[in-house]
Structure 1
Amino acid sequence: MNQHIRGQHLIAGDWIGGEGSFRSSPASGSARDFASGTAALVDQAAQAAEAAFADYAATTRTARADFLDAIADQIEARADAITRVGSEETGLPEARLQGERGRTTGQLRLFAAHIREGAYLDRRHDAAMPDRQPLPRPDLRMIQRPIGPVAVFGASNFPLAFSTAGGDTAAALAAGCPVVVKGHPAHPGTGQIVAEAVDAAIRDCGMPAGVFSFIHGDTHEVGQALVQHPLIKAVGFTGSLRGGRALFDLCAARPEPIPFFGELGSVNPCFVLPQALAARGAQIAEGWAASLTMGAGQFCTNPGLLVLHRDQADDLLAAATAALRNAPAQVMLSDGIAEAYRTGAARLADRATAVIRPETDGRTARPSLLRCTSEEYLADHALGEEVFGPLGLVVTVDTDDQMLTLAQGLEGQLTATLQMDDADTDLARRLMPVLERKAGRVLANGWPTGVEVSDAMVHGGPYPASTNFGATSVGTLAIRRFLRPVCFQNIPEALLPGDLRD
């Protein structure tokens, strides 16, 4: 499919320009001009979403599932254009984008199957007991219902799977909620092509036009207007701690506070236990280096913290250093991300011992490796702050008790990993109660990069990993973020939602 990049916003089925514009900054190819979002456009999109909500929420699960499948089909129909433009804008290799496109369409189809099955509705019925003494019981029926229009922020590091039609959008549409997407300025052309796919599916399936809008956003004002709009009822966000916390605070300060489901940052600690390290230290070092540098370290599950005993550290550090020095320079997603990586790496190098401190320039990045003791780590909060990119910090402990103390001192994380052998079980058993309180996903003998899209996945965790520890942004449980339970008491069957009628 020959794809023309319009550089416009999609508001309820209409492509709209504007007076202002911004220019993209691609890794290769020509820059393009895109219309800048405004508060007026946000209002127009939110109004359209609210107007579409009642009809869309009343659609059958089968109709919504067919709609999600149609979006997936339309994305695949634009596969070549998505790969070409996405690679130009982000510098990601074609194979990565093709895989991410498959994940994106797979998420849509997974939610389609999930809502067809219907268990997510958690339907409950307490039949009336008119003769119960001393008081009768009314007829009570409960079901999960959609909450209203949802705002979704495109992520910088996943131009497909966490952006325009990514997991947040798929979950909200599956729940029955219209969506307003703020596209990420790092990949505006890619976002627009996917928005066209959603628009085509809306037309093919006869869905209300306001069920989806896409607004280019190159300013903070657009995001602020979106989360503060009174018709928006929830927000899905993947991004930095600083930006996400600012939006979270705006959501909480509204006259009607709304949930902000933000994924903000994580260093994803990996604990290398003594017996595993003695048996396969070189293998662990090489696996860590590969995970750390995957995608230039631009994954929210990047394992940036490695914890191990000091008397075993030298050999692992030597193996990791060799692997990381051989890692090639990689193009980062944007000039701003590359600069933030350099700044963050320099900041940590002033606080810990630098093992590898590479020279980087422009938009490319090479791995950084640092080390410190557990006492130094716990005494300096900055050492636990995420640096988005291929940076690893090795933290050494002298005893098992110090390893446990370090785990207890961690902030909330998306993941926590144990590298262990059977002989390490006693120490692992001591760590597990701590790690399951610190992270949304706990792994053994693997690496956290790579998040399976499935029923059992949890991609979230205690703050600052995310702003809602009871939620996930990956997997079918993500739909629950955009639903709320409603109880119907003695309501005539003709007035009940279709999924509650006998």
Structure 2
Amino acid sequence: MSTPPPATAASSAARAATEAAEAAAPSLAALPLPARASLLRGLSQALGANDAHLASVAEDETRLGVERLKGEIRRTRVQLEMFADAVEDGSFLDAVIDHADPSAQPAPRPDIRRMLVPLGPVAVFSASNFPFAFSVLGGDTASALTAGCPVVVKAHQGHPRLSDLTAELAADVLPEGVLTLVHGRETGRALVTDPAIRAAGFTGSTAGGRALFDLATGRPDPIPFYGELGSLNPVVVTPAACAARGADIVREYAASATLGQGQFCTKPGLLFLPTGHGLDDALRGEYVSRPPAPLLGDWIANAYRTTLTALATHPAVRPLHNPPHPAEPRYATPALLTTTAEALRTSPELLEECFGPASLVVTYTTHEDVLETLRALPAGLTATIHGDEAEDEDLFHTLTSALRTGRLIWNGWPTGVAITAAMHHGGPWPATTSPLHTSVGTRAITRWLRPIAYQNTPDAFLPPPLQQGNPWDIPREVNLPS
């Protein structure tokens, strides 16, 4: 028997996974909230009980450092526990009850009860740069399980063995079909077009995310595609802040921009400084002190070298620190280039994200110069302003009016995304494909839910959150008859 071509094998693998998820969907959706929360806590415990082995396998594949990886495991466990708390609270169901009112004007009002229900099986695409927090049991998976949706995870090519190991641990906790794992780019494409999949989440490149987004929206029955893509994450330093603490800002910027070898989606890639800032030597010193280190894989290293070379050789760009590429193919050395705000506006090719430990310093002459340039930037996940509270209030409001971003940071740094209910990790295109939503924090759950309203439905027929006795004991908004 001959081996089927890749597309057929990919379709078969996707179909087997989605069939399992489809079979598991009704029972997961009906699972009482305490039992659903228990599954999430069980996943957290499984990660904790195996953290040393998981970190070792992850280090072998990603070279991110064992301590960093153990910290990411802890972050992932905290995330799972946060979603378990959200399940037990039940507010995410957004239950609203309007009792019937025969005397309502202009017409009698029927009994209307509304809540959010799971979409059904969803596909999740793992990210390379966070092999735990944005991978098999990362935020997309955890929020989808919280919503009551089975998940089919497409493993990332950068850590396949870790993905298999994590999925095996999850299989000991979750009912059959609630979480399945597939490998391969073509299988991922087949997932997005499989009729059983009702939504998809993705973290990765703009090109890859756009291709999958087009598949998702081009289906006969289009589905939501929540893609987190590229971002330049500009940092603007006002003249007042530059004069008062320029050296500190430079040191902290370098630490943020090279954290994890610059492989964070929130890496600050543009540093706006006033002309004549006098910080070139300090900036150069910060980057010279940082040695070469490995990137996540050869594919990232190759893209980094290509993009950096194009930027460094641009006629409007001057290198501050751009040493030769290391001999080791997977390694990269932090690099720092500089240009002007005017050049950035007139040379859109300089706005290509350089994923890795490289940054571009942009000098500006006036407030209007920097404002005009900020308006020309593509929207991003974050934007940061370093200013002086006593002097820069008006400038702050002026700058923020020009920034299109999902998270605005004042006198801080974008790397390190807090796991809180208020966090918004998203933004307008090209930061994401869906600017209303976040992939971090409890509001991430809403991506995998849809509303349904029941009118004049007998109490026994209603789902438990909408029944008169509220057997799940969840918060509800109730409007009593007038």
| Pairwise same-fold verdict (TM > 0.5) | yes
Residue 348 (structure 1) aligned with residue 345 (structure 2): no
Structure 2 residue 201 is the aligned partner of structure 1 residue 201? no
Q: Give the Å deviation of 1:483.
A: 0.6
Aligned partners of 1:98 and 1:133: how far apart in 2?
61
Deviation, 1:38, is 2.0
1:9 counterpart residue number: none
Q: 2:287 aligns with which of 318, 321, 324?
A: 324
Q: Give the letter for the 1:104 counterpart.
A: T
Aligned residue number for residue 276 of structure 2: 311
2:244 to 268, 279, 293: 279
Cα shift at 1:317: 2.3
Report the CA distance between 1:358 and its aligned residue.
2.0
- The match for 2:348 is 381
Query: Residue 477 in 1 paired to residue 443 in 2?
Result: yes
How far did residue 134 of structure 1 move? 4.7
Q: Is the 8 A contact 1:78 1:193 kept in 2?
A: no
1:108 paired to 2:80: yes
SS in 2 for 1:196: helix
- Residue 409 of structure 1 aligns with which residue? 376
Identify the match of residue 264 of structure 1 among 229, 246, 250: 229
1:130 to partner: Cα distance: 2.2
Instruction: Say whether residues 1:426 and 2:391 are aligned partners.
Output: no
Contact in 1 for aligned 2:123/2:197 (Cα 8 Å)? yes
Which moves more between the two structures, 354-363 or 297-306? Answer: 354-363
Note if contact 1:288-1:320 (Cα within 8 Å) is conserved in structure 2: no
Q: Tell me if structure 2 keeps the 8 A contact 1:85–1:189.
A: yes
Query: What is the CA distance between 1:429 and its match in structure 2?
Result: 1.9
Deviation at 1:37, TM superposition (A): 7.0
Q: Indicate whether 1:237 and 2:202 are aligned.
A: yes
Identity fraction in percent: 47
CA deviations on 1:367-401 (whole Å, 9 max, x unpaired) are 11111111111112221121110111011111011
Shift of 1:132: 3.3
CA contact (8 A) 1:37 1:216 kept: no
Does 116-125 or 126-135 show the bigger shift? 126-135
Aligned to 1:459: 425
* CA–CA distance in structure 1, aligned partners of residues 117 and 111 of structure 2: 19
SS of structure 2 residue aligned to 1:224? helix
1:145 to 101, 117, 122: 117
How far did residue 425 of structure 1 move?
2.1
SS in 2 for 1:431: helix
Q: Which residue identity is paired with 2:243?
A: A
- The letter of the residue matching 1:364 is Y
2:177 to 207, 210, 222: 210
What's the counterpart of residue 58 of structure 1? 30
Name the residue aligned to 1:70: 42
Whole-Å separation in 1 of the counterparts to 2:133 and 2:9: 22
Distance in 2 (CA, whole Å) between partners of 1:379 and 1:373 is: 10
For 1:221, the equivalent position in structure 2 comes to 186
Aligned residues of 2:379 and 2:429 also touching (Cα < 8 A): yes
Residue 48 of structure 1 pairs with residue 16 of structure 2: no
Contact kept? 2:52, 2:70, Cα under 8 Å: no
Task: Report the residue type matching 2:21 in the other structure.
Answer: A
The correspondence of residues 389-404 of structure 1 with structure 2, limited to 5 A, is 389-404=356-371
Q: How many Å separate the matches in 2 of 1:295 and 1:400?
A: 33
Q: Deviations over 1:456-487 (max 9, x none)?
A: 10001011011100000011110010011111
Query: Structure 2 CA distance, aligned partners of 1:198 and 1:316?
Result: 50
**What displacement does 1:19 show?**
7.0
The separation in 2 between residues aligned to 1:134 and 1:340, in whole angstroms, is 64
Counterpart of 1:96, as a letter, is: R
- Alpha-carbon deviations, 1:157-179, whole Å to 9, x = none? 01100000000000000000000
State the alpha-carbon separation in 1 of the partners of residues 241 and 145 from structure 2: 45
1:126 partnered with 2:92: no
Cα distance change on mapping 1:88 and 1:37 into 2, 3 Å: farther
CA displacement at 1:426 relative to structure 2: 2.0
Q: 1:368 maps to what in 2?
A: 335
Cα distance between partner residues in 1 of 2:254 and 2:9: 40
For these two proteins, the number of residue pairs brought into alignment is 461
Amino acid across the alignment from 1:320: L
Query: Which letter maps to 2:194?
Result: H
After TM superposition, give the deviation of residue 238 of structure 1 in Å.
Answer: 0.4
The aligned amino acid for 2:334 is P
1-structure distance, mates of 2:274, 2:345: 16
Equivalent residue for 2:475?
Answer: none
Q: Measure the CA separation in 1 of the matches of 2:443 and 2:413.
A: 22
Instruction: Note if contact 1:37-1:215 (Cα within 8 Å) is conserved in structure 2.
Output: no
1:179 corresponds, among 151, 158, 183, to: 151
Amino acid at match of 1:464: P
Higher mean alpha-carbon deviation, 323-332 vs 402-411, is at 402-411
Counterpart Cα distance in 2 of 1:397 and 1:477: 37
Q: Letter of the 2:110 partner, please give it.
A: P
Query: Counterpart of 2:338 in 1: which secondary structure?
Result: strand
State the SS of the aligned residue for 1:466: coil
After superposition, the C-alpha distances for 1:300-325 in whole angstroms (9 at most, x for unaligned) are: 0000001121122xx22221111001
Moved more, 371-380 or 288-297: 371-380
Displacement of 1:402 in angstroms is 1.1
Contact persistence 1:285–1:317 (CA under 8 A): no
What is aligned with 1:5?
none
**TM-score of the two chains, using structure 1 as the length reference:** 0.89
The whole-number CA distance in structure 1 between the counterparts of 2:117 and 2:280 is 52
Report what 1:14 is aligned to: none
Runs of 4+ that moved beyond 6 A: none
